[in-house]
Structure 1
């Protein structure tokens, strides 16, 4: 019999995070989201709650074995209070899953600091000329006697402006596509590194920026994983993160629908609460349905990951559709609020701008559809 129930441990953790999201995150979300300062004080509280170590080695303060469903629950629940901070466990999980393949010195230096919420590390893959086509990156790692010299530019990098280091993906001179791409740990205060902010219309605290490297020396011990295998390693973990990001957007949208429902019960026109009119109640019903459907798509992808079963296609479905569903639900909530929904004094417009980023960030809907269609077209025909 199919079960859609979370286990007791997951439910207890979700309840703890829900209380934190409502009491600690939600009241000051709008103020934090309007600032380019990274909220390290709240970030450290997430570390104390154990949110930043999900699925990471226990010896460095993590929870141990990979737990995709728990990561999804954490991001969805936290996003109800602050969609920007809710991305932290996904970002750290993606980065730390690479760092565990580094030297003992690298692991001991960075993993505890990240899991405790004391420090951030960026993941630098996207380039000006290679967005969705990540394997077309042009940053070069030229080998020298004691390591490599890296030259190139990375753009739209999350945490670039608040991180102490970055995982930089660069290729061997003369290589092409995914072959010859390696992962290197680069200190962002190293000679030859220039970090420039590039704030967008939302997600300001995430510190988006560009990282320019001019003959930056990377020592041999800062190679992460196998030489020439960096691209394949990170792509595997994007399957993990995409569904969690979908849930994150849905968590933010659920907060907006709840606010719209409260407002619809309180606001009156012609002597009746506006929630009694189908023009208000039906959109709420429709978007609640879409949120629920998109939510279980994401958890299905994460469950398949936990079971060790193929999930690339569902992960891509979870990345392109749920952010669209979330964006549309927040827009509907803004309309129900009328002019107040557009006001900068309310969180609705801020969530709309923050969630909009995930229609593009970490893989556009078009690249996700390409992945899905490739699997569909590659199936053998089945006779019925």
Structure 2
């Protein structure tokens, strides 16, 4: 029999995070979201709760075994309190998985502090001329005695303004497309590294920015994994982050819809509560259905990853559709609240702006649809 139940330990952990999100994150979400300061206090709290070490080695303070379902569940639950803080487990999961292929000394330098929530590391892949087409990046890594020299520009980089280091993807001169791309750990205080802030309509605390590299020397032991294999490595890890980010958006949307339901119960017009009007009740029913459907696409993708089965197409489904479903649900919640939904003093408008970022970030809808279609054309179906 097919089971859709979470493991008991997953449920217990999620309940503790749910209480934390309601108690610690939600009350100050709007204030944090209006600031460009990275929320290190909340980040450290996640470290104390063990959220940032999911799937990372116990010797560095992590949980040990890879558990993408637990990571997705933690992300969804935390997003009900604060969309931006909730993205931290996903980012640390991506970064940490890359550090596992580093020199031991580099692992010891960064992994423990990342898991404790004491510092951040950015992923510098996207470039001005190669947004979703990451394999077209132009940043170069030229081999020299004792290491490499990097030159280029990265843009729209999460944590660019608060990171102690970045995982920079660069290609050997003369190579093209996905071949010849390597990954390097680049301390942000290295000579030749500069960062510039990029303000968006939301996600302000995430410190999006551009990173410029001008003859930046990186020693040999800061190479991540195999030379020329950096692109393939990061792409495989995006399969879990895409589904997790879908759940992040859905967690924020579910909270918004829950608030709309309560408001509809309490608000009366023409002598009866809003729940008595089909225009409201049907709207809630429709978005509840869509959120539930989108949620299980994401969890199925993470379950497939956990069981070692192909999941790239499902992960892409979890990245393009759930953020759209979430955005629409939050918009519906805003309309149900009337003028209060649009007011800056309430969190609905903030969630709308923060969630909208994920229609673009980490791969646009169009790129995800190309991946899904390619899988269908190759295998005939995505069903297992």
Structure-2-length-normalised TM-score: 0.98
1:159 and 1:275 map into 2 onto residues whose CA distance is 42
SS in 1 for 2:36: coil
1:224 paired residue number: 224
1:333 paired residue number: 333
Does residue 94 of the first structure (1) align with residue 87 of the second (2)? Answer: no
Gaps of 5+ in 1: none
Cα-to-partner distance string for 1:154-182 (whole Å, 9 max, x where unaligned): 00000000000000000001000000000
Summarize the alignment of residues 174-323 of structure 1 with structure 2, pairs less than 5 Å apart. Answer: 174-323=174-323
Runs of 4+ in 1 over 2 A off after TM superposition: none
1:275 and 1:260 map into 2 onto residues whose CA distance is 10
Cα-to-partner distance string for 1:257-296 (whole Å, 9 max, x where unaligned): 0110111111111111112111111101100000000001
Task: Note the C-alpha offset of 1:304.
Answer: 0.3
Task: Note the C-alpha offset of 1:380.
Answer: 5.1
2:53 paired residue number: 53
Cα-to-partner distance string for 1:281-336 (whole Å, 9 max, x where unaligned): 11011000000000011000000000000000000000000000000000000000
Task: Note the C-alpha offset of 1:38.
Answer: 0.4
Cα-to-partner distance string for 1:8-63 (whole Å, 9 max, x where unaligned): 10010000000001111111100000100001011100000000000000000000
RMSD after superposition: 0.7
2:131 paired residue number: 131
2:287 and 2:374 map into 1 onto residues whose CA distance is 29
1:287 and 1:177 map into 2 onto residues whose CA distance is 41
1:155 paired residue number: 155
Cα-to-partner distance string for 1:242-264 (whole Å, 9 max, x where unaligned): 10000010000001001101111
Structure-1-length-normalised TM-score: 0.98
1:23 paired residue number: 23
Gaps of 5+ in 2: none
SS in 2 for 1:331: helix
SS in 1 for 2:151: strand
